[in-house]
Amino acid sequence: MNGSNWQIQHQCPQCGAPVILEETDRILSCAFCRTRLLIVSPGPFHYYIPAPAAAESVYIPYWRLRGLAYQLKPLDITDTYIDTNRRALPLPGLPASLGVRPQAMKIKFLSREIPGVFLQPRLTAEDVLPQAAVLAGSTARNVFIGEVVSLIYSPMTVKGNALCDDFRPGQAISWTEVEQGRYPALASAAWARTEFLPTLCPACGWDLQGSRDTLAFTCGNCQSVWTCSGAALERTPFITIGGVGNDPHYLPFWRLKVRFEGIALESLADLARLANLPRTITPEMEKRPVYFWSPAFKVNPALFMRWTRQVTVFQPEPDYTENLPHQNIYPVTLTAPEALESVPVTLANIVTDKRAFFAALPRLKLHAVETLLVYQPFAASRRELIHETMKVVIDRKALGFGAFM
């Protein structure tokens, strides 16, 4: 998976020096002027492939999708990893995919200064997921936990009443007034402008810390965590569980309190009944809220599903502090909204009466009531990280999947 990251060519906003970014980078570091900037966007990032010629170009949108995908079917849950791009227009004759073109070329952030016509997407990211056609009309449910969802525009040259592919000589599709009326240009309000913010804490002005691909930035001065909400930074509640041993490693998890429609699940007692947990249901459990847990980092689909199940069933009640760990913090690379998407997968995995659950699945709706980032301590060995309370073990190579895919 190491080569699956696309590269983005950009210029340092401070000094203009060339900078090459990975598509998962959220911090721009300039080697020339030492500037560090946060890369943010109010919506999915928009990129384009520069046209090879100066001719009039029409840019076709494609969805870039990469992440974990699950199919929830009665008595069966399948998982896979998606790394693809799909056309965002049902224009006849368009290639279904850009193939490896974006990997072979440097792409750039889209801006209004780029000449040409950029067409408005007609298909959503959900419409073009590879699994969507398979499950259409069934009682099953698709769940996509996307680490990368963006739009990339590929150029075509107008020649008469046709669009010619700039990179595939001889390939052309019809572009008459009918098609032009059916597929309009991207409206001005729909442009997702990439912005660059200083890496300064909004609360105290201290330097924010984080790896180049992190989605949560920490301030050691005022002990705060910040995540991107659109094109701005938003303070994120967090806790740190007490460490184990002399040199614990901290992995981030999302703890989610969820309100359900379509299923009765408000307390720990409700969870125990649904999952047939080997616990005696007490009046205290009837009052205690139930939380759903998810890794806040990327791992392979099977391991991600196993961890969401194990930690949710365990329902940890740890002693904690509201101070950040001093060292060995693994970066947050999965957002809270994406973690919320994992809740149906967790439920499908733990409920015992799966027929009743899948019958209710089409009516199931989720609403996040409370979100908390929790740094969990793991004892480190040469090959493994071990959570001593829950007895959860993760191979260090599994974290490598998330770090380099």
Structural domain boundaries of the chain? 43-190, 237-404
pLDDT digits (tens, 9 = 90+) for 101-141: 888 888 999 988 888 899 999 999 988 887 654 444 455 78
Please report the pLDDT score of residue 199 as a whole number. Answer: 93
pTM above 0.75, yes or no: yes
Q: How far apart are CA 371 and CA 350, in angstroms?
A: 21
What confidence score (pLDDT) does residue 401 get?
Answer: 56
Distances (CA, A) of 61 to 51, 188, 377, 385: 14, 15, 43, 42
Lookup result for tokens 């006849």? 92
> What values do phi and psi take at 165, rounded to 5?
-70, 125
Question: Which residue type does 289 have?
Answer: P
Distance (Å, whole) CA 83 – CA 228: 24
Distance between CA atoms of 294 and 31, rounded to whole angstroms?
A: 36
B/e letters for 341-355, b = 16+ CB within 10 Å, e = fewer, are bbbbbbbbbbbeebe
Per-residue pLDDT 10s for the chain (405 aa) are 334 678 999 999 989 999 999 998 999 999 999 999 999 988 899 999 998 876 678 999 999 999 999 988 877 888 989 899 999 999 999 999 998 888 888 899 998 888 889 999 999 998 888 765 444 445 578 889 988 899 999 999 998 899 998 888 778 899 999 999 999 998 877 777 889 999 999 999 999 999 999 999 999 999 999 998 878 899 999 999 986 767 889 999 999 999 999 888 999 999 999 999 888 889 999 999 999 999 999 888 999 999 999 999 998 877 889 999 988 899 999 999 999 999 999 999 999 988 888 888 888 899 999 999 999 999 888 888 888 788 788 888 877 654 433
* Amino acid letter, residue 61: P
d(CA 317, CA 324): 19
pLDDT of the residue at 133: 44
Strands (E), 160-194: 162-165, 172-174
CA angle, 401 then 324 then 375, to 5°:
40
All residues at 6 or more sequence positions from 115 whose CB lies less than 8 Å from its CB, including other chains: 57
Phi, psi dihedral angles at 322 (to 5 degrees): -105, 25
- DSSP of 156-167: EEEETTEEEETT
Q: What are phi and psi of 19, to 5 degrees?
A: -135, 135
Contact criterion met (CB below 8 Å) for 77 and 308? no
